[in-house]
């Protein structure tokens, strides 16, 4: 069910609030495409809620115990919404990550009261280090 | 206001292209004296620099020697999302490391523009790829 009365920015704010509450699904189109930028184990293009839930979310739950999302900046042009957000929380070992509150980008496409596209640009080296306990070692 | 902000950001990209072609131009001339310059991630080049002097005297001398130079290199904007003084740009980069190996990243760039100058710049990208390409590291 859509929420055509909401502005795209308001809808994204509500989506983030519902992500923090654990139930954002009714604000997503069935055909939503979620893309996680980069080369991490979580990176990729996930078309449709079954893949978002079945692959991205389930994979993320293995390494993330808790996640808090907050919006620092939000702008809108037509159906496109760009945000600077802060992703922080605890990994599966209970260790906090991004306690510094560093920001990353996330872009949405909103139409007819539903989110049709989410493209997240996370801190990919933080994902490798803090969530997968990997380290960068010199090739030489 | 957003048209003016986009014009300044477009000038930044044009200056960057010209500088990479070898034209004697300061690609950071659109940045304000008091700019906040942020490079996301956990790499040795990640951080926040306050003021154009810090960008020119601290960030650039550290970053430039690590980047290759070749025809066709550059930062290519794909989409602008602008509202008021804020502009988000989705972009692709084509570049190489100092050894000439390809370094083609994907970017979310955030600009804030006041009085015709960029006062905040956030460069968000796959920093894990930067570790491996620019800093010649691998994950363990």
Q: Are the C-beta atoms of residues A116 and A47 closer than 8 Å to each other?
A: no
Please choose, from the candidates A2, A1, A11, A6, the residue with its C-alpha nearest in 3D space to the C-alpha of residue A83: A11
What is the tally of structural domains in chain B?
1
Nearest CA in chain B to A38: B126
Indicate whether B102 belongs to any domain.
Answer: yes
Length of chain B as a residue count: 140
Measured between beta carbons, which residues in chain A are less than 8 angstroms from residue B111?
none
Interface ipTM > 0.90: yes
A95: helix, strand or coil: coil
Both tokens assigned to B93: 């980069």
The C-alpha of A7 sits at a distance from chain B's nearest C-alpha, in angstroms, of: 14
> What does R_g of chain B's alpha carbons equal in angstroms?
15
Indicate whether B140 belongs to any domain.
Answer: no
Interatomic CA distance for residues A27 and A99, integer angstroms: 29
Largest distance between two CA atoms of chain B: 48
CATH classification of the domain holding B29: 3.10.450.50
Residue A4 scores a pLDDT above 80? no
Closest partner residue to B83 (CB to CB) among A76, A135, A138 is A76
Q: Are the C-beta atoms of residues B106 and A37 closer than 8 Å to each other?
A: yes
Torsion angle, alpha carbons of A31, A127, B130, A74, to 10? 60
pLDDT in tens, B58-107: 999 999 999 998 888 999 999 999 999 999 999 999 999 999 999 999 99
Indicate whether B26 belongs to any domain.
Answer: yes
pLDDT in tens, A81-128: 999 999 999 999 999 999 999 999 999 999 999 999 999 999 999 999
Indicate whether B128 belongs to any domain.
Answer: yes
Containing structural domain, residue B17: 2-133
Residue B57 scores a pLDDT above 60? yes
Amino acid B108: pLDDT = 98
Mutate to test the interface with B, among A105, A133, A135 (most CBs of B within 10 A): A105
Closest partner residue to A39 (CB to CB) among B2, B108, B126 is B126
Measured between beta carbons, which residues in chain A are less than 8 angstroms from residue B131?
125, 136
Amino acid A76: pLDDT = 97
Indicate whether B139 belongs to any domain.
Answer: no
Q: What is the pTM of this model?
A: 0.96
Q: What are phi and psi of A9, to 5 degrees?
A: -65, -45
Q: Are the C-beta atoms of residues A103 and B122 closer than 8 Å to each other?
A: yes
Interatomic CA distance for residues B103 and B135, integer angstroms: 11
Both tokens assigned to B54: 């810090």
Measured between beta carbons, which residues in chain A are less than 8 angstroms from residue B119?
none
A133 touches chain B (CB under 8 A): no
Measured between beta carbons, which residues in chain B are less than 8 angstroms from residue A136?
131-132, 135, 137-139
Indicate whether B138 belongs to any domain.
Answer: no
Nearest CA in chain B to A79: B81
Closest partner residue to A121 (CB to CB) among B42, B82, B108 is B108
Cα angle B7, B109, B116; round to 5: 30
Interacting residues of B16 by C-beta distance below 8 A, sequence separation 6+ = B27, B74, B75
Closest partner residue to A104 (CB to CB) among B40, B106, B136 is B40
CATH no. for A8-131: 3.10.450.50
Give the pairing type, strands B117-125 and B31-39: parallel
A71 touches chain B (CB under 8 A): no
Residue B139: alpha-carbon gap to chain centroid: 25
């Amino acid at each position: 069910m859509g929420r055509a009365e909401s502005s795209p920015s308001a809808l994204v704010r509500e989506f983030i609030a519902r992500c923090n509450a654990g139930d954002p699904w009714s604000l997503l189109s069935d055909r939503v495409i979620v893309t996680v930028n980069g080369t991490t184990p979580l990176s990729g293009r996930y078309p449709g809620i079954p893949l978002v839930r079945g692959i991205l979310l389930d994979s993320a739950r293995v390494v993330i115990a808790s996640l808090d999302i907050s919006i620092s900046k939000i702008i809108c042009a037509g159906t496109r919404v760009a945000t600077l957000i802060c992703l922080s929380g605890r990994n599966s070992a209970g260790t906090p990550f991004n306690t510094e509150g560093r920001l990353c980008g996330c872009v949405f496409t909103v139409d007819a009261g539903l989110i049709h596209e989410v493209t997240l640009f996370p801190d990919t080296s933080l994902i490798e280090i803090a969530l997968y306990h990997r380290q960068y070692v010199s090739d030489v | 206001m957003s048209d003016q902000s986009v014009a300044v950001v477009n000038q930044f990209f044009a200056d960057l292209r010209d500088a990479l072609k070898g034209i004697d131009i300061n690609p950071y001339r659109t940045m304000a004296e008091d700019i906040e310059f942020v490079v996301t991630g956990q790499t040795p080049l990640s951080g926040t620099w306050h003021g154009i002097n810090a960008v020119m005297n601290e960030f650039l001398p550290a970053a430039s020697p690590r980047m290759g130079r070749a025809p066709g290199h550059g930062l290519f904007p794909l989409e602008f999302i602008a509202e008021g003084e804020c502009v988000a740009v989705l972009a692709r980069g084509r570049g190489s490391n100092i050894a000439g190996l390809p370094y083609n990243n994907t970017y979310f760039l955030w600009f804030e523009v006041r009085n015709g100058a960029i006062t905040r710049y956030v460069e968000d990208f796959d920093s894990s790829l930067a570790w491996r390409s620019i800093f010649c590291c691998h994950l363990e």
